[in-house]
Chain A
Amino acid sequence: MINGIPINMYMMLSVVLFIIGVVGVMARRNTIIVFMCIELMLNAVNLLLVAFSTLHGDTSGQVFVFFIMAVAASEVAVGLAILSMIYRNLKSIDSDLLSKLKN
């Protein structure tokens, strides 16, 4: 229990958020939306880490979340730079157009 809320409720919540992220990655073609869904999945995992850290009274989990946030920030910076480069070359960010490695 965390302040009267069972831990498995937090588990269910982060599972649902994670699945929404997975479905978004599979169902959308806009690369930026795919990127945002990856952020959503990262946040679902962060939420669970904080929940367990609070449950056990262990600060390490929250330090990990802090590091995950830093890594996510740098990932977004580099990823969006790559996306804008792709857009400059292809004039589109449709993920189905990026299939040159296929053959």
Chain B
Amino acid sequence: MLGYTITQWLFGILSFMAIMFALMVVFTRNPIHSVLYLVLTFFCIAGHYLLMNAQFLAVVHIAVYAGAIMVLFLFVIMLMNLNEDTEPQKTMITKLIAGVIGGLFLLVLVGALKGTEQLAITKYGYSEAGLMKNLGRVLFKEYLFPFEIVSVLLLAALVGAIMLGKKEAKE
């Protein structure tokens, strides 16, 4: 189709959708809509992982982000009963400055990445690095100790969240 392969079409569509949904996250006023758009962005990013043959990460991404983290966000927003009316707004000038700084940052990064077209031609990547078999082998051989540390970290976060969320005893 028009000289592009299916993968390239998919890449283009997924990128466009990811960027649009990410913009909607920032510009929607209702926090709940923001969360839902962020979930859609995460689905687009998971699609990118699938395109890169990183199946395990795609599944983990959906399970952890869309399944756990965003549900947590939604719960907190619903507990606080936030909606469009309670939404605090920055002044126009702050938003303008944020936009200008973001634009300048974008300009700098795009300028810095300008010389990377060479890299695109020389390397050819089709790897099976993302398959569960290879990933598991590396994870449980070379990265076994960090893996165990992560479990301790998650336990610490669990205890910390419970301690913070607990109602303080009335003095």
Contact = CB atoms under 8 A, between A and B. Distances in A.
Interface of A: 1-13, 15-24, 26-30, 32-33, 35-37, 39-40, 43, 46-47, 50-51, 53-63, 65-67, 69-78, 80-85, 87, 92-94, 96
A76 B38 CA distance: 14
Interface in B148-162: 150, 153-154, 156-158, 160-162
Contacts, number: 248
Tell me whether chain B's interface is mostly helix, strand or loop, or mixed. helix
A4 B114 CA distance: 19
A51 B98 contact: no
Contact of A36 (B35, B60, B61): B35
A70 B153 contact: yes
Interface size class of chain B, counting residues whose CB lies under 8 Å from the partner chain: 35 or more
Given A30-B31, A74-B153, A81-B164, A63 B126 contact: no
Interface of B: 5, 7-8, 11, 15, 18-19, 22-23, 25-26, 31, 34-35, 38, 41-42, 45, 48-49, 51-54, 56-57, 60-61, 64-65, 68-69, 72-73, 76-77, 79-80, 82, 86-90, 94-95, 97-99, 101-102, 105-106, 109-110, 113, 116-117, 119-121, 123-130, 134-135, 137-139, 142-143, 146, 150, 153-154, 156-158, 160-162, 164-165
Contacts of A54: 52-54, 125, 127, 129-130
